[in-house]
Chains A and B, each alone.
Chain A
Amino acid sequence: MTLGPGTTGALGVAAALLASASVLAGPGPDDDELVVNGEIRMVTETSPPAHVEGFDRIWSGWRFRTDETQAMQMDDFENPATLFVAAAAEVWSMADGGAGKSCASCHDDVSTMAGVKAVYPKWNPAAGEVRSIEMQVNHCRTNRMGAAAWRYDGAEMTNMVALLALVSRGMPVNVAIDGPARATWERGREMYYTRFGQLELSCANCHEDNYGNMIRADHLSQGHTNGFPAYRLENTRLVAVHSRFNGCVRDTRAHTFAPGSPEFVALELYVASRGNGLSVEGPSVRN
């Protein structure tokens, strides 16, 4: 077991909780292959990037889902996320704000954005900060379009991010963690191994130490972000990655961080970097 910088003496308590109350040995990832629409072949298993110590292999969360849930992601006419992507595709070319511009005014067809989602969160030299793709979308809206910012994890934003993910599907996640992004990445790494809440659980306790096992009825994945935004059967809508972080931290019975907060941006960069090499799958279908 790899102990990160935030691991505390409460290890025994949480380990006992995980062992006795909830976590049962599970079957691990399955061997299924993900090809979307019969043409987009996804990398759902690969070697971990050099900076990840806790995994021998990395697997997309898709490999931990049941056949029925998996099937919903294999055809865009079965994936309910595409309903929301279609809504975003209309918004893409719809002018909004004082400048009378739409996304398409600067970016042309959304297909020109292929590859963008794969490298976010990303260092922005002009702003001197690491930005998530949501931050970049809102920067465009407020600075270029003269439009109001969307709520960070609201439906308009999450649908748009899903559209941006869709045009990058099949491309490898490849976030940069060196140079000026390094400090943010290290903050994210610190958070990943920090135990939060009354249950004193870190991200790593579930997604590194116990992936493949069952936490109650849920088959724990490695917690990669390559499938986000994800259509969750539980929510029956697209869920943004920060909303998922929010849910996880809340479930440790902690005061959580806000979607769009610097903490979650740092965590997103770190978690995304753990899945470098997996295909962008968003918008995926998860339970």
Chain B
Amino acid sequence: MAKGVKPRVKVPKSASPGETITIKTLIRHKMESGQRKDKQGNPIPRSIINRFVVDFNGQNVIDVAMQPAISTNPYFQFDAVVPEAGEFTFTWYDDDGSVYTKSRKIKVG
């Protein structure tokens, strides 16, 4: 597992039924592009987060396939509609096989 990978997500604590909310996510990751060389001139192997998925109560909100052109410490902002109370799950997939997850509950009413 890549060291120091820490996700942060911003989800409102509550929403009215059917409301559209905005979600922001940040995760600490080098996103080593595979295009760089070390001081000895050897290529530094690619090591990135290659996929980011957000679901709510089992239904998908967004599913992103990421390439090395995504900046270090990847940031995404997007909208979601909240039909009922429940839980958002956030999942990031690392090239090295690691999976980082975070979840956030939201109240409706």
Chain A positions within 8 Å of B, measured between CB atoms, are 75, 77-78, 80, 82-84, 86-87, 236-237
Cα distance A78–B9 in the bound complex, in angstroms: 10
Q: Which A residues are in CB contact (< 8 Å) with B72?
A: 80, 236-237
Given A75-B24, A84-B28, does the pair A236, B73 have CB atoms closer than 8 Å? Answer: yes
A to B contact number (C-beta, < 8 Å): 34
Q: Which A residues are in CB contact (< 8 Å) with B81?
A: none
Q: Which B residues are in CB contact (< 8 Å) with A87?
A: 4, 6, 28
Mind listing 15 A-B residue pairs with CB under 8 Å?
A77-B10, A77-B25, A77-B26, A78-B24, A78-B77, A80-B26, A80-B72, A80-B73, A82-B26, A83-B8, A83-B28, A84-B28, A87-B4, A236-B73, A237-B72
Asked if B8 contacts A86 (CB within 8 A), the reply is yes
Q: Which B residues are in CB contact (< 8 Å) with A77?
A: 8-10, 24-26
Chain B positions within 8 Å of A, measured between CB atoms, are 4, 6, 8-10, 24-28, 71-73, 75, 77
Cα distance A83–B8 in the bound complex, in angstroms: 7
Cα distance A87–B8 in the bound complex, in angstroms: 11
Task: Using CB atoms, name the residue of chain B closest to A72.
Answer: B75
Asked if A86 contacts B24 (CB within 8 A), the reply is no
Asked if B24 contacts A83 (CB within 8 A), the reply is no
Within the complex, what minimum Cβ distance (angstroms) separates B30 from chain A? 8
Asked if B73 contacts A83 (CB within 8 A), the reply is yes
Given A77-B26, A78-B24, does the pair A83, B6 have CB atoms closer than 8 Å? Answer: yes
Q: Which B residues are in CB contact (< 8 Å) with A84?
A: 28
Most chain B CB within 10 A, of A77, A78, A86, A87, is at A77
Q: Which A residues are in CB contact (< 8 Å) with B26?
A: 77-78, 80, 82-83
Q: Which B residues are in CB contact (< 8 Å) with A75?
A: 24
Cα distance A83–B27 in the bound complex, in angstroms: 7
Asked if A78 contacts B75 (CB within 8 A), the reply is yes
Q: Which A residues are in CB contact (< 8 Å) with B10?
A: 77
Q: Known pairs A82-B8, A83-B73; list 10 more (Cβ under 8 Å).
A: A75-B24, A77-B9, A77-B10, A78-B26, A78-B75, A80-B26, A80-B73, A83-B27, A86-B8, A87-B6
Q: Which B residues are in CB contact (< 8 Å) with A86?
A: 6, 8
Cα distance A75–B71 in the bound complex, in angstroms: 18
Cα distance A84–B8 in the bound complex, in angstroms: 11
Please name the 3 residue pairs, one residue from A and one from B, whose CB atoms are nearest each other, closest first: A236-B72, A77-B10, A77-B24
Task: Using CB atoms, name the residue of chain A closest to B77.
Answer: A78
Q: Which A residues are in CB contact (< 8 Å) with B71?
A: 236
